[in-house]
Amino acid sequence: MKKNAVCGILIIPLIVMCGGCCPLITGKVVEAGSGKPVEGAAVFAEWTRTVGCFGLKYTESCRTSEAVTGKNGSFIIFGTLNPFVNFHTKLGIYKKGYVAWREYGTFPGFKERDGFGFCKLWYEYRLEPFLKSYSHSKHMIHIGGMRDGDSNFYRAYEWELSLAAEERRLFRKKREDLKEKEKTDEQLWEEVLRELYLTEENFQKPQ
């Protein structure tokens, strides 16, 4: 009996460390800079697995879980103990008025995120303000494939989709109107954002 109990104690940590299985994700969402808790932020996590063989492999979703932050900005998401899920877990946090938080990197700039790990309990997730000079279309790229239409996360950012579509439409029109490539894509995107949202006085170029 004791032998079985000892084996169980040893096996459970091994299962948790295998692959990308994660039984629990906890954290606190705050405003970057002020450190004030962000209530009502949608938190969405997705675990995937790779199936198939002989060059026909593909990735499929095997579990999703979500939560909404409370008054103190905290949340708990229950994950999976499946040892066969992929090591990389997708995690997104969204609240209107802020840049969406993604586990892979930052926005704008799409730089790799440093210092984050799912094993860190009660990690502090800092949300940066979404500036008027930021592109909703590029923000959708940052959010990436986390588009489960039945999730609170999707419903939280759904309002941005029409703005992103209008930005792309105007960008294509400006590009087509140019006889030659007289301007860079970056210059055209700046024109699009100025035309749709900004005045010269409040325009801030993303760093």
pLDDT tens digits for 122-172? Answer: 999 999 999 989 999 999 999 987 766 678 899 999 999 999 999 999 999
The single-letter code of the amino acid at 112 is: E
Give the residue with greater pLDDT, 31 vs 81.
31
Residue 25 has pLDDT above 60, yes or no: yes
Calculated CA dihedral for residues 174, 175, 176, 180, nearest 10 degrees: 120
* Structure letter (DSSP) for residue 87: S
Which conformational region is residue 159 in: left (phi greater than 0), alpha (psi within -120 to 50 degrees), or beta?
alpha
**pTM of the full structure:** 0.80
Of 4-18, 146-160, 179-193, the range with the lowest mean pLDDT is 4-18
Angle (nearest 5°) at CA 48 between 47 and 54: 165
pLDDT in tens, 108-122: 999 998 888 777 789
Task: Name which residue leads in pLDDT, 107 or 83.
Answer: 107
Four-point Cα dihedral 128, 145, 193, 202, nearest 10: -10
pLDDT, mean of residues 22-41: 92
Q: Is 86 exposed, middle or buried (0-12, 13-18, 19+ CB in 10 A)?
A: middle
Alpha-carbon torsion (86, 87, 88, 90), positive or negative: positive
Most distant CA pair in the chain: distance in Å? 81
CA nearest to 96, candidates 139, 146, 36, 141: 139
CATH code: domain 2-197 is 2.60.40.1120
